[in-house]
Amino acid sequence: MDIHIGAQTETWDTGAERLRRLAHPLRLALLTLLRQRGELCVCGIAAALAAEQATLSRHLRILKDGQLVRSRRDGANVFYSLDGETARTLLRQLEQLLGGRNDPARRQA
């Protein structure tokens, strides 16, 4: 059975893709941490979340491909930050949907 959602198909597809990219506790923690602290290098994120850099790099790539985070290289270090207002707005909406200030960054530490 096909569901027809009209002219907003592209908007729904984009929204669904972003939500799919968020569908992991570590990725939610990454975004929350970046929103709270701003730009961080992978080593800073690893220390804050007690996670391996290789694991973080994989999850950061998923978020970056979804235009939720951006990166910048400074010598040997790569720094990550939220990619504009889209990620901030999405996090605020998820907090409201989940019923409060759920802070996955604290749970990971």
Residue 82: CB atoms within 10 Å: 20
Percent over 90 (pLDDT), the chain: 48
Reported pTM: 0.74
The rounded Cα 46 to chain-centroid distance in angstroms is 15
DSSP string, 10-34: HHHHHHHHHHHHH-SHHHHHHHHHH
The C-alpha atoms of residue 94 and residue 35 are separated, in whole angstroms, by: 13
Write out pLDDT tens, residues 5-48.
555 666 778 878 888 888 899 999 999 899 899 999 999 999 99
Q: Where are the beta strands (DSSP E) in 1-109?
A: 40-41, 69-74, 77-82
pLDDT of residue 108: 46
